[in-house]
Amino acid sequence: MTTPPTVAEQEPGNGAERRQVTIRQLLMAEWAKLFTLRSTTFTFLTALALGTGLGLLFSASGAREFRAASAAAQQDFDPVASSLGSYIFAQLAFAAVGVSVFASEYATGTISTSLTSVPQRGRLMAAKIIAFATAALAVGQVIGFLSFLGGQMILSSKHVPHASLGEPLVLRAVAGCGLYLAAVGLLGLAFGALVRSATLGLVLVTVVTLVIPTLSNTLPHAWEAWLQKWWPPNAAAQVMAIKQPADALGPWGGLLLLLLLVGAALVAAAVAFRTRDA
C-alpha cells in the first residue's frame, strides 16, 4: 500500500530538512491509497452492479404491481422511486468502502507510516474524508443516473407511467441518490475510524441504515411513524422520491438530518483519532 510522500529539501550547510506535505500531495496520496486496494475497486463495481441491476428488476416489478393495482393505488405510483429503490443494497457497498479507509490501515499497521509522513492528524483525516467523499459522490451519481435511465426504459416498454430528467423534481431525486450514497459511505468512514475494525464498523452502519428501518415496520404505528419521519436514513431517503408523505420532513430536510448524523460521527471520529494512540 502506498503512503503519503515525504518531501525534503537539501540546503547547503543545513542538512536534509523536511518540508510539510501540501494538501494537493496529500490528496493525491490518499486517492492512490483508496484505489490501490483491490477491495475498493471491487466493492464500488459491486455497488454499480447492485444499483443498476436491481434498479432494473425493481422497475420491472413496479410495472407489474402498477398493472395489478386499483385505480386509486395507481395514483400513488412513483416511477422515479421505483427505479432508485436499489439504493438500499448499494448503500452497504459504499459503507464497506468507507469503513475500510481507516480500518484497513489499522489492520495492516500502515496507519503508523501515514502518521510518520503526516504528523498533523487533523490534516491527514481531512484528506482521507475529502478523497473518499469525492470518489463516493462520483460513483454514487453514476449509479443514480444509470438506475434511473435504465429503469425508466423498462417502465416505458411496459407502457406504464414513467419520467424524464426534464420533469419537475426528477433531477433532484436522481442526483439525491448519489448524495445519499456518499453520505452513507462517510458514515462508514467515521465508524471505521471510531472502532478501527472493518467488520464491526460495517455492522454498525448496517444496523443504522438497514436493520432499524426494516424493523420499524414491525413496531406499533406511532413508533413506526416517528421512525419513518425522524430516523436519519429513513428521512433522507425522501430525497429520492417525487411523491412525499404528508408529514415528511421534505427531501432536503431529511437529507440534512442524515448529514447532521454524519457530521456528528465524523467529529467524534476526529476527536478519537487525535487523542488515541495509533
Q: Does 22 map to a domain?
A: no
| Range among 52-61, 198-207, 268-277 with highest mean pLDDT value | 198-207
| Range among 109-113, 175-179, 249-253 with highest mean pLDDT value | 175-179
Average pLDDT over residues 167-191: 95
63-98 pLDDT tens trace = 888 888 888 778 888 889 889 988 989 999 999 999
pLDDT over 70 (residue 11)? no
State the total domains in the chain. 1
Torsion angles phi and psi, residue 152, rounded to 5: -70, -30
Query: Residue 278 — very low, low, confident or very high, per pLDDT cuts 50/70/90?
Result: low
**Residue 141: strand pairing partners:** none
Q: Does 178 map to a domain?
A: yes
Q: When comparing pLDDT for 254 and 38, which is higher?
A: 254
Average pLDDT over residues 153-167: 88
Q: When comparing pLDDT for 191 and 50, which is higher?
A: 191
Q: Does 189 map to a domain?
A: yes
The label of the residue with cell 454514487 reads 140
- Consecutive H or E run containing 16: strand 15-19
Q: When comparing pLDDT for 105 and 257, which is higher?
A: 257
Of 44-53, 213-222, 242-251, the range with the lowest mean pLDDT is 242-251
Q: Does 187 map to a domain?
A: yes
Q: Give residue 276's region: left, alpha or beta (phi > 0; psi -120 to 50).
A: beta
Q: Position 245: which residue type?
A: P
Q: Does 20 map to a domain?
A: no
Q: Does 13 map to a domain?
A: no
Please tell me the pTM assigned to this model.
0.86
Q: Does 63 map to a domain?
A: yes
Q: Which domain holds residue 75?
A: 31-275
pLDDT for the residue 19: 60
